[in-house]
Amino acid sequence: MLSPGGLNLEVRMDRSFPKDGSIADYQQLMRDIYDLPGDRNFSMSDILAQQQRFTMRALKGIRKGDMQQLRLNLLDAFSWSMTVVNRLHFNIEDVIWCRFPYQCSYCAACPCTCQTQKPDRRPKLLIDESKRPATLKDFQKMFSDIYPTNGRTLADAGIHWAEETGEMSEAIHAYIQEHRPDQLQSIADEVADFVSCIFGVANSAGIDVADGSAELFYKNCLACHNIPCTCSIEHINKFSFEKPAEIPVP
């Protein structure tokens, strides 16, 4: 479809995330829904601000013991992190797998032994491709095998997630200022750590990220249900799962 201004607005088939989809499927779906409006309307700092907004709302859910608030905001923060990753043209599955190839990236063990062994330097990780999880659900299981939930409280997992949110933002802003190629590896590492914390919190709280994402993205954008998303900036900036009635329908 051509708009009067000659801007090509391609109408795409409705899409959903299947519960047994891969992380690559999830990344591609987020690309198809959100890259066009994101590229036109958002700077990287704008995207990070949204990712942080939903992460903090999820953490508020932990503090208040509101598991539904935690769940929905965690899923949305995960979605915004794909917009970050897509802007950087990273392959998120490779980024996660290179950092966590079915072992802890600090002690190289599964389950992690960092709490008892205290490694003083990072070992070189040997990657066994035959262990690479096929689906998003399998990746969540991998993180529960590497970092069993009995080793931490949900609040501990949440604090770690907040820490990694800050480190990811710091790494990206350092790159925005200096544009050094080696800084891209730091960003990739921090993105992998951020995603590992999303799965860590999800595992501690009993949230299935694949099932939840399939519910949230059952038809295109979770709010306007279009692909590409046509949510207004006002709607995006005011969007919250806690008070949906106060937000104008896009």
Would you state the structure tokens that stand for residue 82, as one six-digit string?
């794909």
Q: Nearest distance from residue 127's CB to Zn ion, in Å?
A: 16
User: Which residues does residue 8 pair with via DSSP β-bridges, in sequence order?
Assistant: 2
| Of 240, 26, 237, 60, residue with least CA distance to 162 | 60
User: Which residues does residue 2 pair with via DSSP β-bridges, in sequence order?
Assistant: 8
Interface with Zn ion (CB under 5 A), residue from 86, 221, 228, 241: 221
| Of 76, 48, 37, 73, residue with least CA distance to 232 | 37
- Which residue, 105 or 140, has its beta carbon nearer to Zn ion? 105
Interface with Zn ion (CB under 5 A), residue from 223, 227, 228, 239: 223
Interface with Zn ion (CB under 5 A), residue from 114, 125, 174, 247: 114
**Residue 181 and residue 9: Cα distance in Å, rounded?**
34
218 binds Zn ion (CB under 5 A): no
Q: Nearest distance from residue 100's CB to Zn ion, in Å?
A: 10
- Which residue, 82 or 172, has its beta carbon nearer to Zn ion? 82
Q: How many residues bind Zn ion (CB under 5 A)?
A: 10
Q: Are 204 and 152 in contact (CB under 8 A)?
A: yes
Contact region for Zn ion (CB under 5 A) — 65-73, 128-136, 206-214, 225-233?
225-233
SS3 2: strand
CA quadruple 210, 192, 42, 181: dihedral sign: negative
249: exposed, middle or buried (Cβ count in 10 Å: 0-12, 13-18, 19+)? exposed
Q: Nearest distance from residue 173's CB to Zn ion, in Å?
A: 27
224 binds Zn ion (CB under 5 A): yes
Q: Nearest distance from residue 196's CB to Zn ion, in Å?
A: 11
Q: Nearest distance from residue 113's CB to Zn ion, in Å?
A: 6
Interface of this chain with Zn ion, residues 54 to 113, rule: CB under 5 A: 104, 106-107, 112
Q: Are 90 and 188 in contact (CB under 8 A)?
A: yes
236 binds Zn ion (CB under 5 A): no
- Cβ–Cβ contacts within 10 Å for residue 206, how many? 10
Q: Nearest distance from residue 128's CB to Zn ion, in Å?
A: 17
136 binds Zn ion (CB under 5 A): no
231 binds Zn ion (CB under 5 A): yes
Residues that bind Zn ion (CB under 5 A): 104, 106-107, 112, 114, 221, 223-224, 229, 231
